[in-house]
Amino acid sequence: MNEPHPIRPRPVLGRLPAYAAGKPPAPVEGLVSYKLASNENPYGPVPAVRRAVERFDAIARYPDPLSTALRERLSAHLGVAAQDIVTGAGSLGALTQIITTFAGTGEDGTPDEVIFAWRSFEAYPIVVRSSGARDVQVPLTADFRHDLEAMAAAITERTRVILLCTPNNPTGPVLTTREVEDFLAKVPQHVLVVIDEAYQEFVRQPDAVDGLDVFSRHSNVAVLRTFSKAHGLANLRVGYSVTHPHVTQYLRVLATPFAVSSLAEQAAIASLDHLEDVMERVDIVVAERQKMVAGLAEAGWSVPETQANFVWLDLGDRTPGSWRRPPARRCPCGASAPRACASPSASGRPTHGSCSCAGSSGRPRTGSSGPSQNARICRSGSRLDRDRRRVRRHGRSSPCTIRRRHRLRRPSCRKEPSACWTLTGPCTRTPGSRPTWRT
Ligand SMILES: Cc1ncc(COP(=O)(O)O)c(C=O)c1O
């Protein structure tokens, strides 16, 4: 009875990192709660889209598999040929189509390689690995930007695709036109460079790259965009790629039939028809972003230059699965070792035995909430920072302070603070001495 069933999935499934979806918002009486981790649009779609959705009455019909009307509308809007636009179930659907078309395993069984910066969009390693290709993750620079020099140096004869995420999710900085042009000069023509611009509408930096502009000059460049963020249509799943004909012809072969519903198509068209209203809301989010960054700076935080609808808070070792400083495998004191992993999975999360109170909830990012919630976040950011400063000033906290704080902050955690990785960092007790704590 306990024998494993002989139906087995492809071995690659065992190598896929779990997608760490954002934690759902906790209900707070008297307030609208927002989920911060998915960078959604707190204002939702514009009224014209809601009206189009209400009018929709073709639920029993299959959609147009080519999303012809939307591609034509996008063609007029973007100034690119409609046949070079391929729609997908979100830009994630469009990205999956590109990866599965151009990267996998070669005729000799060797995996192709796909290069991207890390940390970046959580889904990249999953999409790449499930195609059979190998993901080559190039760590971000100290200021949370793509390390384009290192990414160019990582190109091998097996490289098929390179992903550039601008603004980068989750850190926020953009790539500039100059940086991308210099980078492309080092990329061989047979390598497809995909510029993921999910947050393009929120960018205000004058020298930021415009993917379509670069696309118009380079035959090995593709662009991804979405209606999920600025247009507030995340649930309807509609995004698209823009590629050159020698790329598009292969994308069509692997297209998932009927990936975009007619409802999503009509909503996207209505949103494009009311772009001024959409951009008015985007402007509000950008203004909130500026306020948020200023509030956090005032509270003592140094956050990366963000051009998206979110802000990255670097909590260092307290970030579950921090990719820059992976936690030590064993606690030096042995017996009470915090169970953390020295070889985090590609997603940066511990692959075994992480403290159960860490969860994926502590993702240190914030954004996409309303003004009053943003103000609350700045205030609690400032409390956190005050806590850190106090510890710095008075030296390390004693174990009992830590225990008290632990219970206060993580009431549901049954572990002793020494076993709770997220709260304390590793215990540095040497056998026989008093415990000390990193904060
Ligand atoms: C950088 C980036 N690309 C793509 C996506 C996928 O968005 P969607 O599939 O909703 O278009 C996201 C979503 O968070 C993202 O952050």
CB 177 within 8 A of CB 281: no
Q: How far apart are CA 260 and CA 88, in angstroms?
A: 6
CA angle 37, 384, 169 (to 5 degrees): 25
Q: Which residues 6+ apart lie within 8 Å of 275 measured at CB? A: 77
Instruction: Dump pLDDT digits (tens) for 412-434.
Output: 555 444 443 333 333 333 434 43
Placement of tokens 């029993």 in the chain: 60
Ligand 1 center–CA 94 separation, angstroms: 10
pLDDT at 324: 53
Q: For 2-125, where are the E strands, in sequence order?
A: 85-88, 113-118
Nearest to 121 by CA among 162, 169, 167: 169
Lining residues, ligand 1, CB within 6 Å: 39, 90-92, 121, 165, 169, 196, 198, 226, 228, 234, 239
Burial class of residue 69, CB neighbours in 10 A (0-12, 13-18, 19+): middle
Q: For 1-112, where are the E strands, in sequence order?
A: 85-88
Ligand 1 center–CA 199 separation, angstroms: 8
Nearest to 270 by CA among 223, 233, 224, 237: 233
SS3 96: helix
CB 111 within 8 A of CB 12: no
Burial class of residue 323, CB neighbours in 10 A (0-12, 13-18, 19+): middle
Ligand 1 center–CA 171 separation, angstroms: 14
Burial class of residue 248, CB neighbours in 10 A (0-12, 13-18, 19+): middle
Nearest CA residue ID for atom 2, ligand 1: 198
Helices (H) and strands (E) in the chain, counts: 13, 9
Instruction: Dump pLDDT digits (tens) for 219-240.
Output: 999 999 999 999 999 999 999 9
Ligand 1 center–CA 182 separation, angstroms: 26
Ordered structural domains, the chain, with CATH: 47-274 (3.40.640.10), 313-424 (no CATH)
Burial class of residue 400, CB neighbours in 10 A (0-12, 13-18, 19+): exposed
Q: Which residues 6+ apart lie within 8 Å of 126 measured at CB? A: 16, 17, 19
CB 325 within 8 A of CB 316: yes
Judge whether residue 135 has pLDDT over 90.
yes
Judge whether residue 249 has pLDDT over 60.
yes
Nearest CA residue ID for atom 14, ligand 1: 38
Stronger pLDDT, 334 or 128, i.e. the higher one = 128
Q: How far apart are CA 294 and CA 303, in angstroms?
A: 10
Question: Quick one: which atom of ligand 1 is closest to the CA of 170?
Answer: 16
Placement of tokens 């192709």 in the chain: 112
Over residues 20-25, the mean pLDDT reads 77
Over residues 98-108, the mean pLDDT reads 95
How many other CB atoms are there within 10 angstroms of residue 149's CB atom? Answer: 14
Judge whether residue 275 has pLDDT over 70.
yes
Please give the share of the chain, as a percent, with pLDDT higher than 70.
Answer: 72
Run of H or E residues at 297: helix 275-298
Judge whether residue 334 has pLDDT over 80.
no
Nearest to 385 by CA among 439, 436, 424: 439
Judge whether residue 312 has pLDDT over 70.
yes
> Radius of gyration of the chain from Cα atoms?
23
Most confident stretch, 8-12, 129-133, 412-416: 129-133
Our mutation pick for probing the ligand 1 site, out of 36, 146, 165, 228, counting the most ligand atoms within 8 A of Cβ, is: 228
Question: Quick one: which atom of ligand 1 is closest to the CA of 237?
Answer: 10
- Strand pairing of 221-226 and 239-242? antiparallel
Identify the band that residue 32 occupies on the pLDDT scale cut at 50, 70 and 90: confident
Judge whether residue 372 has pLDDT over 50.
yes
Judge whether residue 392 has pLDDT over 50.
no
Ligand 1 center–CA 319 separation, angstroms: 22
Query: Residue ranges of the alpha helices (H) in 103-147?
Result: 123-130
